[in-house]
Amino acid sequence: MEVINVFALFISTPLLLIVSFLCCQILMGVIFYSKLSNPLSGERKPVSILIPAHNESAIIKETLTHLMVQVRTHDKVIVVADNCDDNTDEIAAQFNVQVIVRNCTKNIGKGYALDFGIRHIENDPEEIVIILDADCNVQENTIDQLAIAANLYKSPVQSLYLMEAPEHSDFTQKIAQFAFLIKNKIRPSGLKALNLPCQLMGTGMAFPWHLISKADLANGNIVEDMKLGVDFIINGNNTRFIPSARITSDFPTDSLAQLTQRTRWEHGHLTTIKEHVPNLLMHAFKNHNLKCLFFALDLTIPPLTLLLTFMTVITALFFSISLISSNYTYLIIISTFFTSLAFCIFISWLSFGKSIITIKDSISIPKYIINKSIIYRNFLNKKEVKWIKTKRDK
């Protein structure tokens, strides 16, 4: 019986710690988001806007059209046409931007393209560098807000970045959009309310030049943004969430492209947990750094679908243990936390998700979870380790 109790304690403690922190993030984010999203005021310095682009001829014109209305006289826009075999560079050159071409099939990945761009910028750098993806819709005042924030805080800053499902999407895309909203809007808002750093999200990121110029970018990491956020916090530079700056992108409609994108994100996240969380924890305890500790805890939170699946399995396991041992303590505890998480997700839907997911759509959530299990199964026997660009819609 003692062995069973030790096993239950070993399994439940880290899980409940993660769920507790997640619930705290969500509740704080829901409560304080409106207050946190007020525009910043301050000095808006010239910026270098860096856009890595690999075969983006289908979307780069639209992206630059929306972006250029926010670009001021002394700003620079640099498009890195990275290993392209289309006319991305020719389309970008139609705008008032610098286009630099990188051809290196040995080193593939967004990180290498970013490093190539930074090495170009260092010949005549501005004080602030903003990084955008080539498929972004940059909302009004976003460039100004990122520039003001990076100058004000002298640290990395991250805009609100949301993925949106195309019109008439199926339930899979709608649920994915809602999950993305929790991850990239509600949770970072909760961290901001708690005065804690957030993760970098890959686009809508701004950095003081003295920080980004020294960053380790030249790598093929499939989630280069997560790694960059880890590097910064270890060096004492906490990323701040700026919800007054807003960027959106569309999920791809092609089913294979959807799978490729989600596999890269989620395999990359799980790999980052495995490779970097232990180092973050050691750094936090060694340097008595609470913000680093909470950053590690935030990074440890797995994708929501995986967490819910894991909690379901653990609840079923504790139910079996309870029947054998006639001790229902752990079952009651895990059930309480499961209910708390479900409540937080419901509050998130009630506050921000009703326009995305209808009650009818929610019936399909179990099917969505089953479909996602393929990605997690492949992580065990066919883990994605190479950077693969998501196929764009025409």
Q: Which two tokens stand for residue 121?
A: 């910028």
| Per-residue pLDDT tens over the stretch 358-389 | 877 766 666 666 666 666 665 556 554 454 55
CA 111 to chain centre: 16
Q: Is the pLDDT assigned to residue 110 strictly greater than 80?
A: yes
For 95, other C-beta atoms within 10 Å of its C-beta total: 17
pLDDT value at residue 255: 64
| Per-residue pLDDT tens over the stretch 51-91 | 999 999 999 999 999 999 999 999 999 999 999 999 999 99
pLDDT value at residue 224: 86
d(CA 305, CA 180): 11
| Per-residue pLDDT tens over the stretch 210-222 | 999 999 999 887 7
Q: Is the pLDDT assigned to residue 96 strictly greater than 60?
A: yes
Strand pairing class (137-138; 157-164): unpaired
pLDDT value at residue 348: 96
pLDDT value at residue 105: 86
Strand pairing class (205-208; 76-82): unpaired
User: CA–CA distance from 281 to each of 196, 201, 274, 356, 393 (Å)?
Assistant: 16, 21, 12, 37, 41
| Per-residue pLDDT tens over the stretch 246-289 | 999 988 776 666 666 667 767 777 888 888 999 999 999 999 99
Give all domains of the chain, ordered by start, each with its CATH number: 1-394 (3.90.550.10)
Q: Is the pLDDT assigned to residue 6 strictly greater than 80?
A: no
pLDDT value at residue 308: 85
pLDDT band at 303; cut points 50, 70, 90: confident
Q: Which two tokens stand for residue 3?
A: 């062995």
- Tell me which residue has tokens 């339930």: 171
SS3 167: coil
Which class for 379: exposed (0-12), middle (13-18), buried (19 or more C-beta within 10 A)? middle
Beta strands per DSSP E along the chain: 47-53, 76-82, 98-102, 128-131, 137-138, 157-164, 205-208, 240-250
